[in-house]
Structures are given as structure tokens and as C-alpha cells.
Amino acid sequence: MLLLLIIIYLAIIALEVPILMREGRGKELLVFTLFFLPGVYLSLAQYFGWSIPNPLSGLISLTSQWV
């Protein structure tokens, strides 16, 4: 399963990144990277059983002080 994930990651990179670089779309490449890396982390975290932080826990603790 891990090998399949890595193959999928590499295929996505091989298909998307050269096109973005060839057309000079630096900002789109940056956005692609900013979305791709957390996606890779979350899929690997789920595969390996790592703890995935809850992004709302900080917001909940901040808003609970106001009530």
C-alpha cells in the first residue's frame, strides 16, 4: 500500500509540475505545493497511524474563554 501511495504521489508530480514550470506559472506551482504537501502528510499519517492534529482545537479553546 505504501508503494502505491508513493507511485501515485510521483505520478501527480510528474504530470503537473513540468507543465506548470514550462508555462512559467510560478504562483500556481506554489499553490499546488501548498495543497499537495499537507495532502501527502495526511495520507501518510493515516497510513502509519500517526496522530493527526485537530485544527479546530485551538479555535475551540480560544472561543471557550469568551463564553
Q: What is the pLDDT of residue 54?
A: 86
Q: Tell me how many domains the chain contains.
A: 1
Residues spanned by the domain of 45 = 2-64
The pTM assigned to this predicted structure is 0.74
Q: What is the pLDDT of residue 67?
A: 64
Residue type, 29: L
Cα(42)–Cα(3) distance, integer angstroms: 16
Residue type, 19: I
Residue-wise pLDDT tens for the chain (67 aa)? 899 999 999 999 999 999 999 999 999 999 999 999 999 999 999 999 999 888 888 888 888 877 6
Dihedral sign for Cα 18, 16, 42, 54, please. positive
Task: For the chain, give the number of residues.
Answer: 67
